[in-house]
Structure 1
Amino acid sequence: MSELMKVSSNPHVRSKVTTSSIMLAVVIALLPAAGFGIYNFGIDALILIGVTVAAAVLTEYTYEKLMNKPVTIGDYSAVVTGLLLALNLPSSAPWWIGAVGGIFAILVVKMLFGGLGQNFMNPALAARCFLLISFTPIMNNFEVDAYSGATPLSLIRNGENVNILDMIIGRTAGTIGETSMIAIVAGACFLILLGIIDLKVPGSYIISFIIFLCLFGGHGADPVYISAQLAGGGLMLGAFFMATDYVTRPITKKGQYVYGIILGVLTGIFRLFGPSAEGVSYAIIIGNLLVPLIEKMTFPKAFGTKGGKVHE
């Protein structure tokens, strides 16, 4: 209490929560998904995760050294970016894909825009979209020893049946970190309990997506179809770990709800009407670009003003 009574320049009360503590918590929360991905897909997944994280960290370190800037790899943000990107890659991808993606995420999307807090879109998702466009066959190859190349979402799109329990547990084809809904939700609950994320963005995202499916999915409110769409693909990973990114989400409470609804609708459009069975990455990237407009529309007006003009 005595520290709070000291006279000083503002801010007078400072949070003890640091960027490094937040990022470290995110890394810990991602470990269940990463661990299950390694268990599910084997040593190839472990190598790809290691290479991608190393590429992200080394790129940030090298850039800051060359530019004579303070080295910030100790805040773990590069580790989070590399880990998220790795979890969005198929385990069949060669190791150099992870290296290229890690370099692109940090150098192009993060550092060239000013570093942490200045990037206008999620670096991991931007790198994944870059890899999808540049190396489409590699990024869409989910053929591994344990599973066929077709992901559950592709099977659903073709009208085939899927095993919901396998999708929830994670015994399916897909990217390294998106298959196990249980592992993802466990990590998300950890972050929610710590107060690092809340349910405004992921909740509005998931609910709006479900409503869109009920209206336009052609299956009504079929719980099996809805459960398969929620458990399949990167929806849960994107909703809890990437859409909630402090830097690229709106700062206003109303804006976060609007943002989540936009993501849900865009994901529904991409999945139901787009050429691919997925759509989470592109939905969040477009949502990131709309954040300035969302904040402008939802930013609280100052007391005594209307339309930006002061009332006398």
Structure 2
Amino acid sequence: MPALDVVDDRLQQAMKLVLLATLPGMLAAFWLYGWGMLINLVLAATAALAVEAAVMHLRQRPPGPTLSDGSALVSAALLALALPPYCPWWLTLSAAAFAMVFGKHLYGGVGLNPFNPAMLGLALVLVTFPYPMTLWPSPHGMDLPSGLQHVFGIGQMPDAWVQATALDSLRINKSLTIDELFAGNPAFGHFGGRGVEWVNLAFVAGGMFLLQRKVISWHAPVGMLASLFIISLLCWNGSGSDSHGSPLFHLLSGATMLGAFFIITEPVSGPRSPGAKLLFGVGVGLLTYLIRTWGGYPDGIAFAVLLMNLCVPALERFVAARQQPETP
């Protein structure tokens, strides 16, 4: 068994690489939405580290190793990227604190959590505060002073600074064809959400870096993206008003690539074996499409991941049973 400090060093190095790999997506989100994503990041990181230190103090354990391993910062970064830019400060703090307490330390800390902490925090605010979670800003819509005013509820807010996302616009559409939606709705870009296409591609670049450095394996991302592509292709009925969107639309909208390369590859709450990782990704992709299309939430990745977290022990047992040689 490796020494504890060696394990901590490996975890710290992996978390540093994950944070580095999020930079392309963060820069793309900053280009698209402005300062809101960075404000989210500062608030989420502050709350995550503060709660982490407080919990370790209550457990009468030294907070230094836990704070320095980078796991809290990674959860905060993923949460900040998944929350709407310029959402209220208390919403970001609530999500981050809940993620740390109920997603991580309630089960004993890093390495023991059965659920993805960032997605648990995101699911909490999606269920309890649905209205502010729908307020996504228009691209390039707010400078830093205006953004801070909105986040902290100070001063007059600019008019028409929010819009429905492409996924939400498609979900509630009843009369317009896909061509009409893409032509007349500013939320739509060339293939997916306007500007969000580039954010997703930036996360692909970061994911390729993690694959090249062997921080993650290909099984879960390929399983998720392949299943999402196949089910959206099978259910795609062209450009009519009842269309659920093309496969390319689903791959390049919402938090698809963030989920595929950074969320479902979380090593603690996800499976260990390659076969189980592949099945885990397949399940997340299928559930994401079902929630996007027929559920009450436009994206659905958080709930898909948490539901599949519940299935991890069964997936591991299933794969192990299939790999055992038959007795004569």
TM-score (norm 2): 0.80
1:41 corresponds in structure 2 to 33
> How has the CA–CA distance of structure 1 residues 258 and 69 changed in structure 2, closer, same or farther, with 3 Å as cutoff?
same
**Residue 191 (str. 1) matches residue 189 (str. 2):** no
| Cα distance in 2 between the residues matched to 1:36 and 1:68 | 41
SS in 1 for 2:163: coil
Task: Describe how 1:84-233 pairs up with structure 2 within 5 A.
Answer: 84-144=78-138, 146=141, 148-157=162-171, 158=173, 159=178, 160-161=181-182, 162-164=188-190, 167=193, 171-172=195-196, 180-219=199-238, 225-233=246-254
| Equivalent residue for 2:70, pick from 73, 76, 86 | 76
Q: Quote how far apart the aligned CAs of 1:70 are.
A: 2.9
Q: Deviations over 1:204-247 (max 9, x none)?
A: 11111111112223239x9x822111110111111110101101
| Cα distance in 1 between the residues matched to 2:260 and 2:79 | 15
| Equivalent residue for 1:274, pick from 286, 292, 295 | 295
Runs of 5+ unmatched residues, structure 1: 1-9, 173-177
| Cα distance in 2 between the residues matched to 1:205 and 1:88 | 18
TM-score (norm 1): 0.84
> How has the CA–CA distance of structure 1 residues 283 and 166 changed in structure 2, closer, same or farther, with 3 Å as cutoff?
closer
| Cα distance in 2 between the residues matched to 1:39 and 1:236 | 17
CA contact (8 A) 1:179 1:232 kept: no
| Equivalent residue for 1:256, pick from 270, 277, 281 | 277
CA-based RMSD: 2.6
Runs of 5+ unmatched residues, structure 2: 142-160, 183-187
**Residue 239 (str. 1) matches residue 256 (str. 2):** no
CA contact (8 A) 1:90 1:141 kept: yes
> How has the CA–CA distance of structure 1 residues 104 and 209 changed in structure 2, closer, same or farther, with 3 Å as cutoff?
same
1:5 corresponds in structure 2 to none
Q: Which moved more, 1:210-219 or 1:182-191?
A: 210-219
1:4 corresponds in structure 2 to none
1:265 corresponds in structure 2 to 286
CA contact (8 A) 1:45 1:91 kept: yes
> How has the CA–CA distance of structure 1 residues 190 and 91 changed in structure 2, closer, same or farther, with 3 Å as cutoff?
same
Sequence identity (%): 29
Task: Describe how 1:266-305 pairs up with structure 2 within 5 A.
Answer: 266-299=287-320
> How has the CA–CA distance of structure 1 residues 303 and 262 changed in structure 2, closer, same or farther, with 3 Å as cutoff?
closer
What amino acid is aligned across from residue 238 of structure 1 in structure 2? G
Dislocated runs of 4+, deviation >6 Å: 14-17, 301-305
> How has the CA–CA distance of structure 1 residues 302 and 143 changed in structure 2, closer, same or farther, with 3 Å as cutoff?
closer
| Cα distance in 2 between the residues matched to 1:90 and 1:187 | 21
